[in-house]
């Protein structure tokens, strides 16, 4: 029996992917795809059926080989026919003669009766079926394994693009186009809970050509003028570069500069960009569109030399943008209720913005426990991250609803949804008012057990909110946050003043100050650490021990700030080995000695503790206990390292869970080990601030928990309304379970019974 298509042409595959990526719309992308695949496989038919979830059916969206009139018209109900079968099994179906198969469902409009061989591949995106690609052939024959692999590879590569195009379409792909923007929903990962209704402001890095948003020009003449100036400036820049390189580069190597200048000729790119501005776009958006259009054409060319021109074009685009952004006219002002959208927004960027105008933050990258989210949580700003499909460049000024409880974004929401969310907002405001009753209460369970609640700080607002909400001290002061607000490393006196504020605000209460914890996602704007595998790289104590001058300055500032207050505790982050603690203690002792000699005063040595964030600590509790005074569990990093799940990667966000049995069992083990060595232990990761996990931690024996001020009252209310003995029974139950989702719902059920379901799910609704 002959088999079809025996080799796998990698170049063809790459070319198809590129061409499809460059297509301007989903329909165009699908058309290109079916055409190219049919050609490459010499198949008689290639079709794509997409799943229309709303109507539960597969619609024929593009076809090469079937009757053209059938496209967009015929469909198979979910589960119907061979296409439905491929979709429901989520597996490849390869048949020599489709017609003789019991699942075959004949669609007369398509004219497919002429074709016998059938190969169906499910198009999967994040475990969901997006559609089915079908290749058919006249002869009765089997498709080869190479054909299967070719299509599987192609579908896997293209599914993201399809999902994206599908999601970004201004119109619903299964409906006729209309001019009113259709409301769209996008799913991301909930970062900080809350709801916001407002208008999008796209925040984009300077000179990143792909992220410039579409925007209408306020003043077309002004935009044209700005653009003209930018062109002149870039021409001059290129001419200067050319002159500068005259002695260094050979003429043929400098030919690139003339190519650039030719592209910048009045009749070339500038004419196209100016036309777009005249049609109403602002200058930066026009540059993006024209440069992207041309560079994607070049990128598809077979000739290496011409393909290279794509990067020249983008470089030219970047130069133009840099000029256009040189004035202050690129980032839009933040009006009231602005919803900040971006690919990624760093903590440093966030804290520089007018925070009272930010109603919510939405990013396409990042995950729930990234540093920016933790800061946003402290600020009480609803945040959703990892909304990978959000077409940010098209959304500037769009009306949006951010449901950060469920990680859901509504763009151009329908009136009904807006009304519903307004109602929910009102309910939440009322709930926040009710929580105020817990501001001045002790945290004592119904059966009389006290739990000490501390606040995590970084900004002054945390201190204010923490005090107002009755925190018993600071369980984690993230000292890197004030470092992020500067444009250089702060000096000793600057730091002393900042630390003094924290310590004096909580005079007579313990303040645990963590030494500088930078690296991984905690970047300083003036000291960027770029690493392939940054979570396992130069971070926390590893960085500061390599820079004793930075570490010692910080310790000296902390010690001096503590004079007369004596409520300082020092905490060392990212400890992996005993030697790191020994080296840190040596530097701390030396700083004490130096200050005592310089100032002629006797200092009280502050207690020193270590964070348990790295799994190696589990096996070194005894060794550490002989050196330090207390432990603090950083469950955010501990979860990341125990589960081998990057806490900032949206693709694996679903795997990052504090409810994972391994995390709960480890936390349980840790508290016992710390009790055995007689050292206090607290938890300062986000687990402590989630009422559901907080009650498990208390049941395990953690008697102090430190959290964002935003969570303090919910956690206190939870404790005040449960019995610790019940929490212990709950803990015993969940420690036997092997599934995070089950564990979560088991605790949810318990809280429900206690009338506390809104502590973990502030809003009950069903969109």
Three-state SS at 461: helix
Closest CA to 392 of 217, 215, 523: 215
Q: Note whether 634 binds Mg ion by CB under 5 A.
A: yes
Q: Note whether 519 binds Mg ion by CB under 5 A.
A: no
Which residue among 196, 608, 684, 715 contacts ligand PEP (CB under 6 A)?
A: 684
Closest CA to 234 of 299, 323, 152: 323
How many angstroms separate the first and last alpha carbons of the chain? 53
Between 323 and 371, name the residue whose CB sits nearer to ligand PEP.
Answer: 371
Between 369 and 718, name the residue whose CB sits nearer to Mg ion.
Answer: 369
Q: Would you name the residues annotated as active-site residues? A: 371, 684
For 63, residues 6+ apart whose C-beta sits below 8 A from its C-beta are 34, 45, 46, 47, 48, 70, 71, 110
Token code pair at residue 422: 């307004």
Between 169 and 609, name the residue whose CB sits nearer to Mg ion.
Answer: 609
Binding to Mg ion by CB under 5 A, coded x per residue (else -) over 395-434, reads ----------------------------------------
Question: Which whole-number Å values give the CA distances from 279 to 245, 272, 535, in the listed order?
Answer: 39, 11, 47
- If phi > 0 it is left, if psi is from -120 to 50 it is alpha, else beta; for residue 531 that is beta
Between 213 and 685, name the residue whose CB sits nearer to ligand PEP.
Answer: 685
CA 722, CA 110: separation in Å to the nearest integer?
Answer: 64
Q: Note whether 478 binds ligand PEP by CB under 6 A.
A: yes
Which residue among 637, 646, 690, 758 contacts Mg ion (CB under 5 A)?
A: 637
Between 554 and 636, name the residue whose CB sits nearer to ligand PEP.
Answer: 636
For 243, residues 6+ apart whose C-beta sits below 8 A from its C-beta are none
Binding to ligand PEP (CB under 6 A): which residues in 487-546? Answer: 517
List the helix and strand counts (H, then E) for the chain. 26, 24
Q: Note whether 33 binds ligand PEP by CB under 6 A.
A: no
Out of Mg ion, ligand PEP, none, what residue 684 binds, judged by CB under 5 to 8 A for its kind, is ligand PEP
Between 403 and 613, name the residue whose CB sits nearer to Mg ion.
Answer: 613
Q: Note whether 475 binds Mg ion by CB under 5 A.
A: no
Q: CB of 573 within 8 A of CB of 541? A: yes
Which of these ranges, 87-95, 186-194, 232-240, 631-639, lies near ligand PEP under the rule CB under 6 A?
631-639
CA 763, CA 746: separation in Å to the nearest integer?
Answer: 19
Binding to ligand PEP by CB under 6 A, coded x per residue (else -) over 633-672, reads -xxxx-----------------------------------
Question: Which whole-number Å values give the CA distances from 428 to 199, 339, 762, 763, in the listed order?
Answer: 20, 19, 8, 8
Three-state SS at 132: strand
Out of ligand PEP, Mg ion, none, what residue 384 binds, judged by CB under 5 to 8 A for its kind, is none
Query: Judged by CB under 6 A, how many residues of this single chain contact ligand PEP?
Result: 11
Q: Note whether 685 binds ligand PEP by CB under 6 A.
A: yes
Binding to ligand PEP by CB under 6 A, coded x per residue (else -) over 367-406, reads -------x--------------------------------
Which residue do the tokens 């840099």 mark? Answer: 322
Question: Which whole-number Å values give the CA distances from 99 to 115, 222, 623, in the listed order?
Answer: 9, 65, 72
Which of these ranges, 447-455, 630-638, 690-698, 740-748, lies near ligand PEP under the rule CB under 6 A?
630-638
Q: Note whether 740 binds Mg ion by CB under 5 A.
A: no
Out of Mg ion, ligand PEP, none, what residue 374 binds, judged by CB under 5 to 8 A for its kind, is ligand PEP
Q: CB of 348 within 8 A of CB of 370? A: no
Residue numbers of the site for Mg ion (CB under 5 A)? 613, 634, 637
Residue numbers of the site for ligand PEP (CB under 6 A)? 374, 476, 478, 517, 613, 634-637, 684-685
């Amino acid at each position: 029996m002959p088999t079809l298509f025996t080799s796998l042409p990698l170049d063809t595959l790459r070319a198809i992917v590129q061409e499809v990526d460059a297509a301007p719309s989903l329909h165009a992308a699908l058309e290109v795809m079916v055409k190219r695949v049919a050609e490459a496989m010499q198949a008689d038919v290639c079709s794509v059926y997409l799943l229309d979830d709303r109507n539960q059916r597969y619609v024929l969206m593009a076809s090469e080989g079937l009757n053209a009139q059938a496209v967009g018209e015929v469909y198979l109900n979910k589960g119907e026919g061979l296409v439905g079968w491929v979709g429901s099994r989520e597996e490849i179906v390869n048949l020599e003669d489709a017609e003789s198969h019991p699942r075959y469902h004949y669609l007369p409009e398509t004219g497919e009766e002429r074709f016998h061989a059938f190969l169906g591949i499910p198009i999967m995106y994040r475990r969901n079926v997006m559609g089915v690609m079908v290749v058919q052939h006249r002869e009765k024959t089997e498709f080869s394994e190479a054909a299967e692999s070719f299509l599987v590879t192609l579908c896997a590569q293209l599914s993201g693009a399809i999902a994206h195009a599908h999601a970004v379409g201004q119109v619903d792909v299964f409906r006729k186009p209309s001019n009113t923007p259709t409301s769209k929903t996008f799913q991301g990962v909930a970062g900080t809970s809350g709801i916001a209704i407002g208008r999008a402001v796209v925040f984009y890095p300077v000179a990143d050509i792909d992220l410039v948003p579409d925007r209408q020009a306020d003043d077309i003449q002004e935009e044209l003028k700005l653009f003209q100036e930018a062109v002149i400036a870039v021409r001059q820049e290129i001419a200067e570069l050319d002159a500068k390189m005259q002695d260094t580069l050979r003429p043929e190597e400098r030919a690139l500069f003339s190519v650039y200048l030719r592209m910048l000729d009045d009749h070339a790119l500038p004419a196209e960009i100016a036309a777009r501005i005249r049609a109403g776009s602002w200058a930066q958006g026009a540059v993006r569109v024209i440069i992207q259009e041309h560079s994607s054409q070049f990128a598809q060319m077979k000739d290496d030399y011409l393909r290279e021109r794509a990067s020249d074009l983008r470089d030219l685009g970047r130069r133009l943008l840099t000029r256009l952004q040189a004035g202050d006219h690129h980032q839009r002002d933040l009006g009231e209720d602005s919803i900040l959208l971006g690919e990624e927004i760093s903590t440093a960027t966030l804290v520089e913005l007018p925070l009272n105008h930010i109603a919510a933050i939405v990013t396409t990258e990042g995950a729930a426990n990234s540093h920016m989210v933790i800061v946003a949580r402290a600020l009480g700003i609803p945040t959703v991250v990892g909304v990978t499909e959000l077409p940010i460049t098209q959304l500037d000024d769009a009306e949006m609803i951010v449901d950060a409880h469920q990680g859901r974004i509504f763009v151009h929401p329908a009136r009904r949804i807006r009304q519903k969310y307004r109602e929910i907002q009102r309910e939440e405001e009322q709930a926040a008012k009710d929580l105020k009753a817990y501001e001045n209460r002790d945290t004592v369970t119904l059966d009389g057990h006290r739990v000490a609640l501390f606040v995590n700080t970084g900004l002054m607002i945390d201190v204010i909110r923490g005090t107002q909400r009755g925190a018993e001290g600071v369980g984690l002061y993230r000292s890197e946050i004030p470092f992020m607000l500067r444009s250089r490393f702060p000096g000793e006196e600057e730091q002393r003043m900042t630390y003094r504020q924290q310590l004096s605000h909580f005079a007579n209460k313990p303040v645990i100050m963590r030494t500088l914890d930078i690296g991984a996602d905690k970047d300083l704007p003036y000291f960027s650490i770029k690493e392939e595998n940054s979570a396992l790289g130069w971070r926390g104590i590893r960085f500061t021990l390599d820079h004793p001058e930075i570490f010692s300055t910080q310790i000296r500032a902390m010690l001096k700030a503590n004079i007369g207050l004596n409520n300082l505790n020092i905490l060392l982050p990212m400890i992996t080995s005993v030697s790191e603690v020994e080296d840190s203690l040596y530097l701390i002792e030396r700083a004490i000695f130096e200050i005592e000699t310089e100032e002629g005063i006797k200092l009280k040595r502050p207690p020193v503790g270590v964070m348990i964030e790295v799994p190696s600590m589990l096996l070194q509790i005894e060794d550490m206990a002989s050196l330090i005074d207390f432990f603090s569990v950083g469950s955010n990093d501990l979860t990341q390292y125990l589960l081998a799940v990057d806490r900032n990667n949206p693709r694996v966000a679903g795997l990052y869970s504090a409810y994972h049995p391994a995390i709960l069992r480890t936390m349980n083990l840790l508290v016992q080990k710390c009790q055995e060595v007689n050292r206090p232990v607290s938890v300062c990761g986000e687990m402590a601030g989630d009422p559901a996990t907080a009650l498990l931690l208390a049941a395990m024996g953690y008697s102090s928990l430190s959290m964002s001020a935003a969570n303090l009252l919910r956690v206190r209310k939870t404790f005040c309304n449960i019995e610790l003995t019940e929490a212990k029974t709950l803990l015993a139950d969940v420690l036997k379970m092997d599934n995070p989702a089950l564990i979560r719902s088991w605790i949810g059920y318990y809280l429900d019974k206690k009338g506390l379901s809104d502590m973990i799910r502030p809003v009950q609704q069903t969109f």
